[in-house]
Each structure stands twice: as C-alpha cells, then as structure tokens.
C-alpha cells in the first residue's frame, strides 16, 4: 500500500531512488511502473494504490488492469483500462520511429473514465475550471482556454512564454493555433476528444498533418508527413505535453497534457519551475 497522506515524501524519495536504480540497469520503465508514474504525475488526485487498485484522494477506487484480457488495438482505443493507457512508452525527444510503426501511438489510448473524473464529465463541469492562457503575447497575442485542474493552464503558459522567444521562422508554426477547449467526440469515433477536458491544444492548421486527411483510412493512415520542427515539440514536452506527431495515426498539430507519459526518472515533479 502506498500512502501519500502520511509518508508522501518518503515514498516519493524511495520511488525516485528505485527508478534511478532501474535507469542505471537500463530499464527505465518496468512492466508495472505505470501505477507509480500515475501517482507521481497526479499527486493532487491520486493518493495511493493497493495491488491492482488505484485510490483517488476522494475515496473512489479504479482498477489498474480491468482483467478483460488481451485486446486488439481498436478495442484498447474504445475501452482502455489504465494499464493499457500506460503500456506504450512515449519516446521523449528526437529518438522516435519515423514513420511511426503500426499502432504505436503512446497517449492515444485513454481510459475515458479517468479523464472524466479528473477534469469533468460534462462540458459545463469542464468549463467551470477553464482559465485563459495568454498565447504569444509578444507576437500579437491570443487567448486559449485550458483547465486549471493540474495547473494545465500554467503549464501551457510556460510553453507559450518559451515559444514567444523563438525566431520568426519557427514561431510561424504556432502563432495561429487552431483550438484548445472543445467538448466533442473524435472524428469517426464515439469517444471524447482530449480537447473536451481542456488539456489539449492544436497549433497552426496550415502547417499540420493528420492521418485522416485526404485518403487516409484507419488500417492505412495517410502516408506519414510532418512539417513541425522538433524544437517546438521539445518545448511542449518539457512542460508535460505529448505530441500527436509521434503516433501511427498521426496528428502533428496536436499537443496534450499527459505528464504520466513524460516523467523523468528520479524527479518528483519535473514540470514545476
């Protein structure tokens, strides 16, 4: 049993040390460190775990593995448990497969119940927690609405402040963002887009590429294409946002706050300034 209430710091220290040792052994993410990464990423909401059970701080529990056995990729997209949400390891930085290998898309598999509980289960409930991000104020400025839950708005503001320092040839990829909060289902799907929770932002559509555009199908997405410079991706990743440009079903406009997939080994909260 992990308890954050009485011995949070001791646990985090021990966990950090363990992860560091694991890193030295060349095994950053063991098969089952998904629970620990979730606890580290969302300490305001998740207060512990007992075996296969995640304990929310308000007393609610969720299974980590739903015990439904092996699922196809499509079944995972439609009905993921938390274990499946965590199992593909997001490749931070420049070392990622291009084009992405079939169905490799860490972060695209989401347990919807988890996100609804964290950020709100209706447009109205999510909207109550939204706050404006002052996007690229040195370059004209726009307002993007993101959730204050987990301080996602502050993390995106930090991204914006760094992007605003970039030279113009790079800034032109991000100076006209296509959207942020939007309660909607994903195109051709029944499940909610992460934009519904106020945790995602799309940068300029004119320089983005999406697997479904033109002749793409789910089995054969449109041929991988990316025009977004990696310098922009680095800045988002540094502040807890993963990039849809690393997915088999790619979406190079899309960035999404998913700290559980970006935690640095041994760091308690790498996204705090």
Sites of contact with Zn ion (CB under 5 A) = 200, 202, 254
Min dist CB 75 to Zn ion, Å, is 23
Min dist CB 253 to Zn ion, Å, is 6
Are 215 and 75 within 8 A, CB to CB? no
Min dist CB 165 to Zn ion, Å, is 24
- If the CB atoms of residues 28 and 176 are measured against Zn ion, the closer one turns out to be 176
Q: What is the Cα–Cα distance from 42 to 199, expressed in whole angstroms?
A: 14
Residue 178: left if φ>0, alpha if ψ -120 to 50, beta else—which one? alpha
The vertex-60 CA angle with 16 and 130, nearest 5°, equals 80
- If the CB atoms of residues 202 and 237 are measured against Zn ion, the closer one turns out to be 202
Q: Any residues with CB less than 8 A from the CB of 157 and at least 6 apart, and which? A: 133, 134
Structural tokens at position 219: 């089995």
Min dist CB 114 to Zn ion, Å, is 19
Are 180 and 128 within 8 A, CB to CB? no
Q: What is the Cα–Cα distance from 129 to 149, expressed in whole angstroms?
A: 7
- If the CB atoms of residues 3 and 193 are measured against Zn ion, the closer one turns out to be 193
Q: Which residue is nearest to Zn ion (CB)?
A: 254
- If the CB atoms of residues 253 and 263 are measured against Zn ion, the closer one turns out to be 253
- If the CB atoms of residues 110 and 254 are measured against Zn ion, the closer one turns out to be 254
- If the CB atoms of residues 105 and 202 are measured against Zn ion, the closer one turns out to be 202
Q: What is the Cα–Cα distance from 163 to 235, expressed in whole angstroms?
A: 7
Q: What is the Cα–Cα distance from 225 to 207, expressed in whole angstroms?
A: 11
Min dist CB 6 to Zn ion, Å, is 40
Min dist CB 240 to Zn ion, Å, is 16
């Amino acid at each position: 049993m992990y308890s954050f209430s009485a011995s949070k710091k001791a646990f985090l220290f021990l966990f950090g040390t363990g992860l560091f040792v694991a890193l030295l052994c060349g095994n950053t993410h063991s098969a089952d460190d998904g629970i620990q990464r979730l606890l580290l990423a969302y300490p305001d909401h998740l207060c512990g775990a007992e075996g296969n059970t995640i304990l929310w701080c308000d007393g609610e529990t969720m299974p980590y593995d739903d015990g439904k056995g092996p699922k196809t990729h499509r079944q995972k997209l439609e009905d993921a448990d938390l274990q499946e949400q965590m199992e593909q390891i997001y490749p931070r930085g420049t070392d990622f497969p291009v084009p992405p290998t079939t169905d490799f898309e860490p972060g695209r598999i989401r347990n919807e119940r988890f996100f609804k509980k964290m950020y709100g289960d209706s447009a109205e409930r999510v909207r109550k927690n939204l706050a404006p991000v002052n996007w690229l104020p040195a370059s004209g400025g726009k307002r993007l609405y993101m959730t204050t839950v987990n301080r996602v708005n502050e993390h995106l503001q930090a991204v914006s402040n760094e992007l605003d320092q970039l030279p113009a040839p790079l800034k032109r990829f991000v100076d006209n963002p296509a959207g942020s909060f939007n309660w909607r289902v994903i195109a051709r799907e029944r499940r909610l887009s992460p934009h519904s929770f106020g945790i995602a932002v799309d940068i300029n559509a004119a320089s983005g590429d999406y697997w479904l555009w033109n002749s793409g199908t789910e089995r054969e997405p449109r041929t991988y294409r990316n025009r977004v410079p990696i310098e922009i991706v680095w800045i988002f990743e540094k502040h807890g946002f993963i990039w849809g440009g690393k997915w088999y079903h790619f979406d190079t406009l899309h960035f999404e706050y998913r700290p559980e997939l970006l935690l640095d080994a041994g760091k308690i909260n790498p996204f705090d300034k």
